[in-house]
Amino acid sequence: NISSLSCSGSRSSKTFKPKKNIPEGSHQYELLKHAEATLGSGNLRMAVMLPDGEDLNEWVAVNTVDFFNQINMLYGTITDFCTEESCPVMSAGPKYEYHWADGTNIKKPIKCSAPKYIDYLMTWVQDQLDDETLFPSKIGVPFPKNFMSVAKTILKRLFRVYAHIYHQHFDPVIQLQEEAHLNTSFKHFIFFVQEFNLIDRRELAPLQELIEKLTSKDR
């Protein structure tokens, strides 16, 4: 029930959606730990590279789950500021407006408020991540042939949440002292999608200046 989610009261616990856990002891968990360790070194370009001998699909899968969790948490901190009233449309600045469609339940794109859009989006992503045929968590279960195109769609949509936060809610992010956290998360995300060419440049346009600023120091 989406309407109950739009009132901040039901979300005051400051988490937006349940975290997607990667099972401990699994190979994907090891990969996640590797990613966290290399991130700790502070070199993001190195941190996103495919580790030697690893499967690209699995690396993209683990990182996609991780970005979902990060964005979930970041958006969770500002849900009180993102309301039907403050954000009647899902936008990233005056030039970019997003309409929601998932191709199955909602085939024709609908115009909706940002909190509703983001709720649809995160629920949709969660459903994809929970689908064992798309994101197999067991060793030896192969990834489907269309895995990369699914991952690209997920990442393209997750980018829109970053874009909305930066354009419409950056002031509360600063007030909550979440700015460094947001920038680090977004920079990691951008380096990752650049490394494997996962999001079309046109889709990144709403944050192009920021992307250039964040990545120019690390060329």
Give the residue numbers of the binding site for Zn(2+). 82, 87, 164, 169
Give the residue numbers of the binding site. 82, 87, 164, 169
- Cβ–Cβ under 8 Å, residues 61 and 28: yes
* DSSP per-residue codes, 8-65: GGGGTTS--S---PPPTTSHHHHHHHHHHHHHHTT-HHHHHSPPTT--HHHHHHHHHH
- Cβ–Cβ under 8 Å, residues 90 and 100: yes
The whole-angstrom separation of Cα 54 and Cα 210 is 31
The whole-angstrom separation of Cα 146 and Cα 72 is 25
